[in-house]
């Protein structure tokens, strides 16, 4: 199988850490101060250390990237992406409370790409399981996105068979 045609990331505990909680458990308003993004209680929101390198790699390889997040506060997630100066990095963003199956159906419709050509990273096994059933190569992110895990996902996608798409 060829390289993925779309790389899809979850947000909470996959691309960013919101002080050990989900972004919808933060307290708005949010602000950028001294290069840091903080909520009203000074909870720090930051990308995991390798995330910008992963996004840079995708850009350099002309790999389109998307988001699929089930947050209860989509406006907050979008605001945090803006404050982290990352909104422009994602060609597609499905950010709303729903199942990841709905997110991936919307991504398929928006891109015209089949699920089998997508690679997905998420920290929740239930999402990995349901998205894998669609034919998406799915990788469990246990300690935040890293370049090593990203490369593993690329390798898994290029060598994946229909019988083994989920990685845990």
Ordered by where they begin, the domains of the chain are: 6-15+48-77+85-167 (3.40.50.1000)
**Catalytic, out of 12, 39, 122, 123:** 12
Paired tokens of 41: 């209680």
- 141 vs 38: CA distance, rounded Å: 24
Tens-level pLDDT at each residue, the chain (168 residues): 589 999 999 999 999 998 888 998 999 999 998 778 999 999 999 999 999 999 999 999 999 999 999 999 999 999 999 999 999 999 999 999 999 999 999 999 999 999 999 999 999 999 999 999 999 999 999 999 999 999 999 999 988 544 344 444
- 121 vs 79: CA distance, rounded Å: 21
Interacting residues of 138 by C-beta distance below 8 A, sequence separation 6+? 119, 120, 121, 122, 127, 128, 131, 132, 165, 166, 167
DSSP state of 157: H
Query: Does residue 10 carry a catalytic annotation?
Result: yes
pLDDT of residue 160: 59
- 98 vs 120: CA distance, rounded Å: 17
pTM of the model: 0.92
pLDDT of residue 1: 59
**Catalytic, out of 10, 39, 122, 123:** 10
Paired tokens of 21: 């909680």
- 3-state SS, 49-108, equals CCHHHHHHHHHHCCCCEEEEECCCCHHHHHHHHHHCCCHHHCCEEEECCCCHHHHHHHHH
DSSP state of 27: -
* Residue 109 · residue 82 · CB < 8 Å: no
User: 119: buried, middle or exposed (CB in 10 Å: 19+, 13-18, 0-12)?
Assistant: buried
């Amino acid at each position: 199988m060829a390289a993925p045609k779309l790389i899809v990331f979850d947000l909470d505990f996959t691309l960013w850490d919101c002080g050990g909680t989900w972004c919808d458990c933060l307290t708005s308003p949010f602000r950028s101060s001294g290069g840091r993004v903080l909520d009203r209680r000074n909870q720090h929101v930051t990308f995991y250390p390798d995330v910008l390198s992963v996004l840079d790699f995708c850009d350099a390889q002309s790999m389109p990237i998307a988001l699929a997040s089930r947050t209860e506060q989509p406006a907050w997630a979008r605001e945090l992406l803006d404050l982290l100066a990352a909104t422009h990095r994602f060609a597609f963003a499905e950010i709303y409370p729903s199942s990841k199956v709905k997110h991936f159906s919307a991504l398929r419709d928006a891109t015209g790409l089949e699920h089998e050509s997508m690679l997905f990273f998420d920290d929740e096994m239930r999402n990995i399981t349901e998205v894998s059933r669609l034919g998406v190569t799915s990788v469990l992110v246990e300690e935040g996105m890293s370049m090593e895990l990203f490369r593993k996902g690329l390798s898994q996608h290029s060598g994946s068979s229909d019988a083994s798409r989920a990685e845990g």
